[in-house]
A and B are shown apart, each in its own frame.
Chain A
Amino acid sequence: MTLLAVERIKLFSTRSPYWCSALALVLGVGLTAIIAASTDNGQLTLGVTQFGSSQLALSVVLVMAALAVTTEYRFSTIRATFLAVPNRTSALLAKTVVVAFIAGVLGEIIAFGSVGIAKVLSPASDLAINTSGEWRHVAGVGLLYGIGAILAIAVGILVRQTAGAVAILLVWNMLLEQLIGIIPKAGVKIQAWLPFMNANHFLQLGGDNAAEQAGAGIDFKLSQWGSLGYFAGVAVALLVVALIVAKRRDA
């Protein structure tokens, strides 16, 4: 608990997490607002409300999580951290837990905020959250953010530099996994096992507009919750590697 308090103080005593959270909120909810405003009243579906949160704002959250680690390396405060807490694994784990938790909460705020703003701007549309699939589609965003944050922290620990870590995360999430689909035949099969694709699979709403959603057209071998587990598995595996490296490496 002590270490969690330490990381909480560290995170909230600088401005960048506030800026990143605000940016994620504006991008996630804002995109939904624009879509809602430009869609005929009554035509908006629940699946559309989460475009902003699951794509755009997720990138910002990944960047925020990576920054939580890379700025420590950038300003050498990581050394102060390791001096105060020589058990590097627990120090970094505490940071991961705090950042992942905050990312998760932020995810829920953005996801439900998006639904809320859509309801306000397009009151005639059916945006009720009833089925378990609909709940997963909205509330699942927080889980995605939390796991995404774990993955981003792992990358941050491994790369240590802000520019490198951010570039890897953004290219991976927004470009690489999409581009692999271009490879004839094999591409789609590979995509079925890529972490962010599985993350999108988890969120998929099914039903009428399934084809519009990210990850559509891929023949996933896992169930939707299985995909989330897979995404989490990749993130945790990467974190374990990062923790081992951090423990062995000179600070």
Chain B
Amino acid sequence: MIEAVRLQKHYGKTKAVDDLSFTVRPGRVTGFLGPNGAGKSTTMRMILGLDTPTGGDVTIDGKHYAQLSQPLRKVGALLDAKWVHPNRSARSHLKWLAVSNRIPVSRVKEVLEIVGLTEVAHKNAGGFSLGMSQRLGIAGALLGDPEVLLFDEPVNGLDPEGILWIRQFMHRLAEEGRTVFVSSHLLSEMAQTAQDLIVIGKGQLIAQTSTEQFIADATQDTVRVRSPHAAKLREILAAHATVTDDSVSGSLVVHGIPAQQIGELAAENQIVLHELSPQRGSLEEAFMQLTKESVEYHAH
């Protein structure tokens, strides 16, 4: 479990992180979202003891990162895949990490196997593609078989197979009861990956909730209806709800009443339905809605 309590980080007058409190629970994948400059990286760095908070506190299972005697056995982190010496081989990189936390060196071979880098283990990390560096970073995070995992933009540079692999992998880690905390800008990807969300903007907490709840709260549910008797149905529904036409698919988009009620109205009036699908808003819509004010840099 990761707990931030009134966490603050100020650089001169700039408040990068401002009075931020949240809890990341075990057994779930928790997404960490926010526009550029929202303070995500700074927060992750404070969790890991790389940056010192100006105020407040962040702990991992009640302890500061710096108090962990063998931190890699407790916390695995992938913040930047390029934090590797380019002239050092993948194996050597993992080896010194393992030795530093008294992790048996045999584990290096195992994690290389898990991420599929066994064949290139002896090559210098400097020649790796972004996707391979990313896999090496993940291998490093897994080395100590940690209970808490932090990933910053893990799918960066991965191809579709790699993206699917890491998503399923994170789900598995969470199912095993671990705490998985992932930051990403790819909302359509996060919608499939994270069960819980922590959303920040301008260094402050915007929301901490389940992904489903987050979307439901910020977007309006609509129902897509197709019928051979569209005109008649439109008339009936207009008395209860807002109805708009979707000219591309020729269906009606209904706001304001649930699908169930539409179905009953149709049945009462003996109208044939060809489709009656409740439409959920997307994570992207919800995110844009809630972070509108905290985006630093707008395009036209």
Contacts and interface: CB of A to CB of B under 8 A. Distances in A.
Given A79-B50, A251-B51, A84 B100 contact: yes
Contact of A82 (B49, B86, B95, B97): B49
Interface in B49-72: 49-52, 65-68, 71-72
Contacts of A163: none
A77 B72 CA distance: 15
A111 to B, nearest CB: 29
B195 interface: no
A9 B77 CA distance: 21
B71 A83 contact: yes
Contacts of B51: 250-251
Contact of B72 (A10, A75, A83): A83
A71 B85 CA distance: 8
Contacts of B240: none
A84 B77 CA distance: 10
Interface string B28-47: 00000000000000000100
Contacts of B140: 80
A124 B93 CA distance: 51
- Interface of A, secondary structure class, is helix
A185 interface: no
B48 interface: yes
A2 interface: yes
A80 B50 contact: no
Among B67, B84, B85, B88, the most chain A Cβ lie within 10 Å of the Cβ of B85
Interface in B67-101: 67-68, 71-72, 77, 79-80, 82-89, 92-93, 95-97, 99-101
A80 B88 contact: no
B172 interface: no
B65 A75 contact: no
A167 interface: no
A86 interface: yes
Interface string B232-244: 0000000000000
Contacts of A6: 96, 99-100
A72 B88 CA distance: 12
Contact of A9 (B68, B95, B102): B95
A15 B77 CA distance: 27
A39 interface: no
Contacts of A251: 45, 50-51
A79 B71 contact: no
Interface size class of B (residues with CB under 8 A): 20 to 34
Contacts of B71: 83-86
Contacts of A87: 66
A80 B98 CA distance: 12
Interface in A77-107: 77, 79-87
Contact of B88 (A13, A86, A250): A13
B83 A79 contact: yes
Interface string A180-206: 000000000000000000000000000
Contacts of A250: 45, 50-52
B276 to A, nearest CB: 52
Contacts of A3: 100
A130 interface: no
B85 A14 contact: yes
Interface string A57-79: 00000000000000110011101
Interface of B: 45, 48-52, 65-68, 71-72, 77, 79-80, 82-89, 92-93, 95-97, 99-102, 140
27 contacts: A2-B99, A2-B102, A5-B99, A6-B96, A6-B99, A9-B92, A13-B93, A13-B96, A14-B87, A15-B87, A16-B87, A71-B85, A75-B84, A76-B82, A76-B83, A79-B50, A80-B84, A80-B97, A82-B49, A83-B48, A83-B71, A84-B72, A85-B71, A85-B100, A248-B52, A250-B52, A251-B50
Interface of A: 2-3, 5-6, 9-10, 13-16, 71-72, 75-77, 79-87, 248, 250-251
Given A10-B88, A251-B50, 10 more contacts: A2-B99, A6-B99, A13-B92, A14-B88, A71-B85, A75-B85, A79-B80, A86-B49, A86-B68, A87-B66
